[in-house]
Amino acid sequence: MSWPRSQLFEIGDLSWCPSWLHQHEQFTLTKLWTLKFPPWGRESLATKACEVFKEHMQDLSSYTVLDICAGSGGPTPVLEFELNRELEAQGEKPVQFILTDINPHIEAWQQLCKKQKNISYIVTPVDARAVPRLGNKKECRIFNICFHHFSDEDAAGILKSAVESADSFIIFEATSRDVATCLSTILMFFFTFVVTLCWFWHSPVHLLFTYILPLSPLTLWIDGLISCLRTRTSQEISDLLDQPGLDLSKWTFHSGTKIVSWPVVSLRYYAGVKSG
């Protein structure tokens, strides 16, 4: 069952959202990408994202991957590790990944780049609605669980820019407008308790706003639920590409769903690839 999309807004996007809460939310989302529920599901959202790359992106080593709205990194560390491990085994050059965000998460990105030499980042804010073309290699723009943040007008502009300036793009969403996924967002509430315990046990602010006043778990849950209500179907993304004067003649589009843990955790994707 689905219903019309609502634009709404998320707490993490509001200008008055405290920076510690924004960072806690982004960090929790990054951990969510690698979460596995064995034996219910032996793979993570991130490993499913790797599958999408392998299925639809030929000649991967000729690309630079630009992570738009990267947050704390999302699936990019896993993508870099898995995809480059395979490329290197085949004697191919590794793919470079570049993290960008309107609120650059410099501290988190520095940690990542120290460990993974094929990941770098742009220090200054990069607005997804005005992404500059970078370098001479082919460019793949990835939008990890963020495309739903944009109004139809902005989303259409983002797609237009990807078609006109880049060589491929992939939109990944872990939410969708159906009852099972909306109900599953309650898992974010409990997952935040685990994240605080494992990674923020030394921070009085995080402990207070997780275990005494559960502001962080509630924010993650509410934003997850709102993300569901904002997420577009593949058809709605296709419709946004239908713009006067936008030449799609060299482009092929693929979309689908990868089940991570049935029936509540799935990865939906919409990929566009330019030939030649």
List contacts with ligand SAM (CB under 6 A): 13, 26, 29-30, 69-71, 74, 101-103, 127-129, 144-146, 149
160 vs 141: CA distance, rounded Å: 12
What's the one-letter identity of residue 83?
Answer: L
The residue (of 106 and 208) whose beta carbon lies closer to ligand SAM is: 106
The residue (of 35 and 61) whose beta carbon lies closer to ligand SAM is: 35
Task: Mention every residue, 6+ apart, whose C-beta is less than 8 A from residue 243.
Answer: 156, 159, 160
Q: How far is the CB of 212 from ligand SAM (least distance, A)?
A: 26
The residue (of 94 and 104) whose beta carbon lies closer to ligand SAM is: 104
**Dihedral angle over CA of 60, 66, 68, 73, nearest 10:** 80
The residue (of 102 and 208) whose beta carbon lies closer to ligand SAM is: 102
Helices 215-230 & 19-33 angle (0-180, nearest 10): 60
Task: Mention every residue, 6+ apart, whose C-beta is less than 8 A from residue 40.
Answer: 261
The residue (of 36 and 62) whose beta carbon lies closer to ligand SAM is: 36
Q: How far is the CB of 76 from ligand SAM (least distance, A)?
A: 8
Residue 274, SS3 per DSSP = strand
76 vs 10: CA distance, rounded Å: 23
Q: How far is the CB of 31 from ligand SAM (least distance, A)?
A: 9
**CA dihedral sign, ordered 155, 157, 160, 161:** negative
The residue (of 57 and 68) whose beta carbon lies closer to ligand SAM is: 68
Strand boundaries in the chain, DSSP class E: 63-68, 96-99, 119-121, 138-144, 168-173, 251-261, 265-274
Give the full edge-to-edge strand order of the sheet including 119-121. 119-121, 96-99, 63-68, 138-144, 168-173, 265-274, 251-261
Q: Residue 52: in which H helix or E strand, if any?
A: helix 45-56
Q: How far is the CB of 261 from ligand SAM (least distance, A)?
A: 18
Q: How far is the CB of 39 from ligand SAM (least distance, A)?
A: 26
The residue (of 28 and 168) whose beta carbon lies closer to ligand SAM is: 28
Q: How far is the CB of 89 from ligand SAM (least distance, A)?
A: 27
Q: How far is the CB of 108 from ligand SAM (least distance, A)?
A: 10
